[in-house]
Amino acid sequence: MTDFLNLILEPLQEVFAKFRTFMPNLLAMLVILSMGILAARVLRAVLVRFLMAIKFDSWSDRMGVTTLLRKGDLWAKPSLALGAIFFWSLIILVLMTGLSALKVHAIDQLVEQFFLYLPRVFSAVLILIIGYVFAGFVSRAVLIAAVNSGYHYAKLLAEALRLLLTILILAMVLEQLQVAPGIVLAAFSIVFGGIVIALAISFGVAGIDAAKRMIERETAEKHAKDTKDDIEHL
Amino acid sequence: MSDFYQTGIITTLHKLGTPSLERLEAEIREFSKKRPVALVLPALYSEFEGPAMQGIVRKLAKVNYLKEIVLVLDKASEKDFHRVREFMSPIATEVKIVHNDGKRITEIYETLARNGLDVGQRGKGRSAWLAYGYVLARGQSDVIALHDCDIVNYSRELLARLCYPVANPNLNYVFCKGFYSRVTNKMYGRVTRLLVTPLIRSMQQLIGQHGFLMFLDSFRYPLSGEFCMVTDLARVNRIPWDWGLEVGSLAEVYRNFSPRRVCQVDIAETYEHKHQPLSADDAGKGLMKMTIDICKSIFRTLASEGVVFSEGLFKSLSVSYLRTAEDAIMKYEADAAINGLEFDRHSEAQAVEAFTRAISQASQVFMENPMGTPLIPNWNRVTSAIPGILEMLKKAADEDNK
Amino acid sequence: MKTVAFRKDVQEQLERIQQADIVVGIPSFNNARTIGHVVRAIQAGIAKYFPDRKCVLVNSDGGSVDDTLEIVRRTSIEDYASIHLHHRVEPMFKIATPYSGIPGKGSAFRTIFEVAEALDAKVCVVVDSDLRSITPEWIELLVKPVLEDGYDYAAPLYHRHKYDGTITNSIVYPLTRALYGKRVRQPIGGDFGFSGKLAKFYLTKDVWQTDVARFGIDIWMTTTAIANRYKVTQSFLGAKIHDAKDPSADLSAMLYQVVGATFELMETYDDIWKPVRGSEPVTTFGFEYTVGLEQVNVNTGRMLNIFREGLKNLSKIWTDILGAGDFGEVERLGALQDRNFRFPPGLWTRVIYDYAITFHKKKLPKEHLIKSLTPLYLGRTASFIMEVEQMGQEEVEGEIEKLCTEFEYNKEYLVTSWK
């Protein structure tokens, strides 16, 4: 009879023992989570108070940052929005740390990969921002230079250039994030190559007339320019 | 039926003969192709539960020359907002409702406040001003017409006559004020009859000829809430957000444009709308506040034009006003008598007494703080302070209306 | 603050000469065709009007590859003290050729100032090296007000063809006049006389590494003199005829250099120009006579085409700078026929002020901002040319006067928006 009892009790004891070893980890995770959430709340409040003190909202109104938020149908105050982003980033961090306290190997691996991935996200965001500014700068420079030389299709040229640069930037960002790198590379090559080939074909074959007109227009203008304008601007 | 006498220094457009509404509307429709017209309606939700709004909506549904209608809804909850959208749905013209109490528009007001731009308290002035901003943001209309939402005997003719002078590119008016006779079985319009006109006339007696006073005096009904203007004025004009709104707007028009480009138009045979209770004692309520705000507005404009105000002037003003107002009562009594209208001399006299008190209160407030009259900054100033504000406003209203 | 060490031979020369009353500086770069005439005119002028004064001629060359240096050396008479210098030119300037064709004109001037300081000169004069119309009288007119009449700065006053000098006539003169309250008619003339005191003051300013010193030295000199309350006058010199223009000179680069420098100076001196209202005339030396001027051909059609292209392609940029109201007015101009095209002076004033404000607020990169002004400038120029087609010299000055009044009248707008 005792043997039979033991048969039932042993597995239960095993589970109970396993549970006992696991309990502290679980507790640790819960403690980390709750303290983390508290800390995140406090830090958010501090950040928001700081931003209000330096009149961050007013600054972002004047700089057009608020306008960007509103375009995305986000109607929170800029300082609160920043606070929220900050808060949720901290929460993710806290979550990751908490999960690692469980000391479950599979989760540990996940957490490690997450933290290894983080730098890529930062550099991707950096590339995006710098790329966006750069594309805007270059396309605007081309636009103004083309307009000032009297080129009729200035805006088209500038927008085309901006599009090409944007595609380049996006491809670089996706490559950084290692999102299906093989596919991105292939897609990028196809799109870029395609655009180049399309331009070549259109100018060489299908767009002979349009190209001819554009060139004629340019030479005519240059001719007119050469004929008379002796004015001394300075 | 009126005569064709031209009073004062602005143009008066009378109702002569029996003008045809169809012709009027057809002409405006032609004009609106080059100069699109927007209609702005500052409204309280409570007005949708009143008798006037239904009639207005019914009439507007038949109007086909407006580019857009912007209704600014005040004191309304989310549910009220949706009910109003339903209410306005029979109108074919595009209607955008600016929900003042909605989350998005509230955020817009806060954005203005935190950048040091004081747009004043809740009221018709602020609502109208915001509507102008929205019309500017959309950039689709060249003419803005505005009228109240409590007009019980609203008609298409009223709107058409209001819009015509400014919409017509051959007439070259930048601003047009509506006037009408506020008479049913008795004379209404006490504030105009017994305050504004006698006040202006007594000021003219005291300080002599002054362009602004002549300008104000030309208007047959300066407190009318119906007017029409070119959109450019909305950029440049600073309007008061209190009850001095109507007079203050006229002051801005006077400052920025020649009286040759201003006119007034007879828009209705009769006109009925809500009446303000005359609370003789509580300066914050009703007619007293209105009176004080109007006086402050007039004083401020005159001061900015170089008139020197002193204790002595205000004392003389009180006396002169009382005299002029009493004379006015006698004239109105005669007019009422011949036309068989009710006329309560006692309540008219009481009103004049209240107005006298209001004038001295206003003088006091003005002397203490002459600069402290509330003007909303104009849109040019606002957009230079916050470059994206118009885009944000447009987005807010568009999203609310989705 | 002398951070430029003179080369040894120059140093020796300076020590030999020791002191001079008048220093005449000529910056040069490949001006073999004209510089001989310039040097001779200067020498004749000195000999005729200031025979008993000690004068030094300084040629600050930017690395000419033609015969410029030879010609200067040859032309200088032996008993005439002259110094030949190379001013330091960074390699970049040789590639990026500014409008004047002199790389680093600012450095050239600086060198001349330093010579003036080293020699404790009373008066310093600088002239352009490509002048065909310079006469010996120019020397008297630029030196005498400073030397004998107590002025610190003598700006030039030319009679030019009514179509010439449009950047000056439509931007720099009205703007400078409205800002600083002095009616200096040709602030970027290029030929100036100034006192040794002012030269020393110029050297105390640390601008030599900036764009202003590279391309905007002319407007910088004039503005610095006016803003720091030096006594300014102008002298009528007659006609100004350059050597044949370099056809590849890029208009938008010109605008960027000149207008950019002017706007930069607004930043530096904002406390000084903000309270100024109205303007006063400046004493004029010399006898104003009418000059016969050659016919100038213009192609307004082309200018208006560029204006319309600009309107089409740059609408977003212009709306950001000018605001919807003023941009609307500009848009309406685009619909006008060539013959009827008129750019109202009031609108032009607000355009320039809006650009100055946007420059101040740094909303756009400087080069993009000012180069985007080019089509507007061409529109205004074409309109001006058509308006004054039938007018005589005096009437044209009247039109320019009207524009200046608009600038002064609208200054409130500039001041209030300049936060």
CB contact under 8 A, A67 and B392: yes
Residue A21 binned pLDDT confidence (cut-offs 50, 70, 90)? confident
CB contact under 8 A, B114 and A64: no
CB contact under 8 A, C325 and B383: no
In a domain, B6, yes or no: no
Please name the residue that has the structure tokens 């100076």: C265
Which residue in C248, C309, C362, C377 has the most chain A C-beta atoms within 10 A of its own C-beta, making it the best mutation to test that interface?
A: C309
pLDDT digits over B330-384, tens only?
A: 999 999 999 888 888 998 998 899 899 999 999 998 888 877 667 888 888 888 7
CB contact under 8 A, A66 and B392: yes
Secondary structure, 3-state, chain C: CCCCCCCHHHHHHHHHHCCCCEEEEEEECCCHHHHHHHHHHHHHHHHHHCCCCCEEEEEEECCCCCCHHHHHHHHCCCCCCEEEEECCCCHHHHHCCCCCCCCCHHHHHHHHHHHHHHCCCCEEEECCCCECCCCHHHHHHHHHHHHCCCCCEEEEEEECCCCCCHHHHHHHHHHHHHHHCECCCCCCCCCEEEEHHHHHHHHHCCCCCCHHHHHCHHHHHHHHHHHCCCCEEEEEEEECCECCCCCCCCHHHHHHHHHHHHHHHHHHCHHHHCCCCCCECCCEECCCCCCCCCCCCCCHHHHHHHHHHHHHHCHHHHHHHHHHHHHHHHHHHHCCCCCCCCCCHHHHHHHHHHHHHHHHHCCCCHHHHHHCCHHHHHHHHHHHHHHCCCCCHHHHHHHHHHHHHHHHHCHHHHHHHCC
pLDDT for A226: 59
Least confidently predicted of A168-177, A207-216, B121-130 = A207-216
CB C400 within 8 A of CB C408: no
pLDDT digits over C325-384, tens only?
A: 788 889 888 888 888 899 999 899 999 999 999 999 888 888 899 999 999 999 999 999
CB contact under 8 A, C324 and B136: yes
CB contact under 8 A, C325 and B380: yes
CB contact under 8 A, C323 and B232: no
In a domain, B5, yes or no: no
- If DSSP codes are grouped into helix, strand and coil, which group holds residue B389? helix
Please state the domain extents for chain A: 1-103, 119-179, 189-234
In a domain, B3, yes or no: no
Contact residues on chain A for B115, CB-CB shorter than 8 A: 58, 61-62
* Contact C44/A at CB under 8 A: no
Residue A152 binned pLDDT confidence (cut-offs 50, 70, 90)? confident
Q: Smallest Cα–Cα separation from B41: which of B6, B79, B68?
A: B68
Task: Give the structural domain span for B371.
Answer: 11-400
Residue C102 binned pLDDT confidence (cut-offs 50, 70, 90)? low
Q: Is the pLDDT of residue C220 over 80?
A: yes
Which residue in A60, A61, A65 has the most chain B C-beta atoms within 10 A of its own C-beta, making it the best mutation to test that interface?
A: A61
Identify any residues that bridge with C238 across adjacent strands, giving them in sequence order.
Answer: C158
Q: Looking at mean pLDDT, say which of B111-115, C39-43, C47-51, C326-330 comes out highest.
A: B111-115
Residue C94 binned pLDDT confidence (cut-offs 50, 70, 90)? very low
B77: number of CA atoms within 13 Å, CB side? 1
* Contact C116/A at CB under 8 A: no
Q: Is the pLDDT of residue A189 over 50?
A: yes
Which residue in A54, A58, A60, A67 has the most chain B C-beta atoms within 10 A of its own C-beta, making it the best mutation to test that interface?
A: A67
Least confidently predicted of A201-205, B221-225, C73-77 = C73-77
Joined together, the tokens standing for residue A27 give: 């507790």
Interatomic CA distance for residues C310 and B300, integer angstroms: 45
* Contact C366/A at CB under 8 A: no
* Contact B388/C at CB under 8 A: no
Distance from CA of C379 to the nearest CA of A (A): 12
Residue C2 binned pLDDT confidence (cut-offs 50, 70, 90)? very low
CB contact under 8 A, B388 and A57: no
DSSP H or E segment with residue B11: strand B11-13
- CA B271 to the chain's CA centroid: 15
What is the interface size between A and C, counted as CB pairs within 8 Å? 94
pLDDT digits over C299-341, tens only?
A: 888 889 889 989 988 988 898 888 777 888 898 888 888 888 9
Q: Looking at mean pLDDT, say which of A19-28, A182-191, C255-264 comes out highest.
A: C255-264
Q: Looking at mean pLDDT, say which of A86-95, A170-179, C15-24 comes out highest.
A: A86-95
Please name the residue that has the structure tokens 């608009």: C406
Q: Is the pLDDT of residue A211 over 80?
A: no
Least confidently predicted of A181-195, B85-99, B278-292, C254-268 = B278-292
Distance from CA of A89 to the nearest CA of C (A): 32
Q: Give me the tens of pLDDT residue by residue for chain B, a chain 402 residues long.
A: 567 777 788 999 988 878 889 999 999 999 999 899 999 999 999 999 888 899 999 999 999 999 999 999 999 999 999 999 999 999 999 999 999 999 999 999 999 999 888 888 888 899 999 999 999 999 889 999 999 998 888 999 999 999 999 999 999 899 999 998 877 777 878 888 899 999 999 999 999 888 899 999 999 999 888 999 999 888 888 888 888 888 888 988 998 888 999 999 998 876 666 555 555 555 446 778 888 888 988 888 888 888 888 889 999 999 999 999 999 999 999 999 998 888 889 989 988 998 999 999 999 988 888 776 678 888 888 887 888 899 899 999 999 998
What percent of chain C shows pLDDT beyond 70? 88
Q: Is the pLDDT of residue C79 over 60?
A: no
- Which chains are adjacent to chain C, needing at least 3 Cβ pairs under 8 Å? A, B
CB contact under 8 A, C298 and A228: yes
CB contact under 8 A, B391 and A62: no
Distance from CA of B35 to the nearest CA of A (A): 29
CB contact under 8 A, C324 and B232: no
* Contact C323/B at CB under 8 A: yes
pLDDT for C209: 72
Contact residues on chain A for C162, CB-CB shorter than 8 A: none
pLDDT for A188: 83
pLDDT digits over C125-182, tens only?
A: 999 888 888 898 999 999 999 999 999 999 999 888 888 888 999 999 999 999 999 9
In a domain, B241, yes or no: yes
Contact residues on chain C for A223, CB-CB shorter than 8 A: none
* Contact A64/B at CB under 8 A: yes
Q: Is the pLDDT of residue A15 over 90?
A: no
Interatomic CA distance for residues C87 and C107, integer angstroms: 6
pTM above 0.90, yes or no: no
pLDDT for B186: 77
| Residues 234-273 (B) with a CB less than 8 A from some CB of C | 235
Interatomic CA distance for residues B266 and B264, integer angstroms: 7
CB C280 within 8 A of CB A176: no
B358-393: b (≥16 Cβ within 10 Å) or e: bbbbbbebbeeeeeebbbbbbbbebbbbbbbbbbbb
Please name the residue that has the structure tokens 């993009």: C368
* CATH (domain of B320): 3.90.550.10
CB contact under 8 A, C313 and A155: yes
Closest partner CB to A61 (pick from B386, B395, B396)? B386
Interatomic CA distance for residues C94 and C62, integer angstroms: 9
In a domain, B49, yes or no: yes
Kindly tell me the sign of the dihedral angle through the C-alpha atoms of C206, C94, C28, C248.
negative
Closest partner CB to C306 (pick from A137, A143, A150)? A150
Nearest chain A residue to C259 by CA distance is A234
Residue A111 binned pLDDT confidence (cut-offs 50, 70, 90)? confident
* Contact B232/C at CB under 8 A: yes
Contact residues on chain A for B114, CB-CB shorter than 8 A: 55, 57-58, 61
Specify the number of domains making up chain B.
Answer: 1
pLDDT for B271: 66
In a domain, B25, yes or no: yes
* Contact B276/C at CB under 8 A: no
* Contact A146/C at CB under 8 A: yes
Domains belonging to chain C, first-starting first, are 8-285 (3.90.550.10), 300-417 (no CATH)
In a domain, B331, yes or no: yes
Under 8 Å CB-to-CB from B364, ≥6 apart: which residues?
Answer: none
Kindly tell me the sign of the dihedral angle through the C-alpha atoms of B179, B180, B181, B184.
negative
CB contact under 8 A, A141 and C367: yes
Please name the residue that has the structure tokens 């009259």: B373
Q: Where are the beta strands (DSSP E) in B83-169?
A: 94-99, 143-146
Which residue in C313, C362, C371, C373 has the most chain A C-beta atoms within 10 A of its own C-beta, making it the best mutation to test that interface?
A: C313
* Contact C325/B at CB under 8 A: yes
Q: Is the pLDDT of residue C97 over 60?
A: no
Q: What is the mean pLDDT of chain C?
A: 83
* Contact C278/B at CB under 8 A: no
State the complex-level ipTM: 0.74
